[in-house]
Amino acid sequence: MKYILFCFCMLVVATSPTFGQQTPSKLLIHVTQGAENPTVAALAFLVARTAIEEGHIVSLFLAGDGVPLIKDQVLDNLTGLGTGKLREHYDAIVKGGGKFYLSGMSSMGRGVTDEDIKGKPAEFAMPSVLVRLTLESDKVLVY
């Protein structure tokens, strides 16, 4: 009887529509490296892109030297050594529903303006947003 019950349970699990599928996680990627370190900057976006392509929910918080990465001139010209083109990663992140938050204070200090984020899934944010996103996320990666 135990064997039959075990087989029945295994059959139910194996035929479940979610069997073998990973549950989507919320991932926060905190990016403080910028164009001065193109390989790391592109790697952060590559990891975000990969997570989205695997079905996860991704937010990126750009701070410090990372905030200028949102500028079109940087997106179009930055390529990491072995980590790809920033624009290609950015476009995939946007297509997959990724969201960008930019440190307001870092943005002011580095000349990132409303014009730079116009039409992008991005917003300026204070440190309290970074804290909230961190607490709401399943995992946090920092680049």
Tokens of 87: 């624009």
Residue 130 placed within a domain: yes
**Beta partners for residue 26, in sequence order:** 57
Residue 102 placed within a domain: yes
Residue 32 placed within a domain: yes
Residue 52 placed within a domain: yes
Q: So what's the pLDDT on residue 30?
A: 98
Residue 111 placed within a domain: yes
Residue 13 placed within a domain: no
Residue 5 placed within a domain: no
Greater confidence, 8 or 100? Answer: 100
Mean pLDDT, rounded, for 48-74? 98
Angle between helices 38-53 and 86-95 (to 10 degrees): 30
Greater confidence, 32 or 6? Answer: 32
Q: So what's the pLDDT on residue 139?
A: 98
Residue 1 placed within a domain: no
Triad 27, 77, 52: Cα angle to 5°: 20
Its domain, for residue 91, covers 21-142
CA distance linking residue 85 with residue 42, whole number of Å: 7
Cα dihedral 63/65/70/72 (nearest 10): 170
The number of folded domains in the chain is 1
Confidence class of residue 22 from pLDDT cuts 50, 70 and 90?
A: confident
CA distance linking residue 82 with residue 61, whole number of Å: 23
pLDDT digit string (tens) for 69-102? Answer: 999 999 999 999 999 999 999 999 999 999 999 9
* CATH number for the domain that contains residue 95: 3.40.1260.10
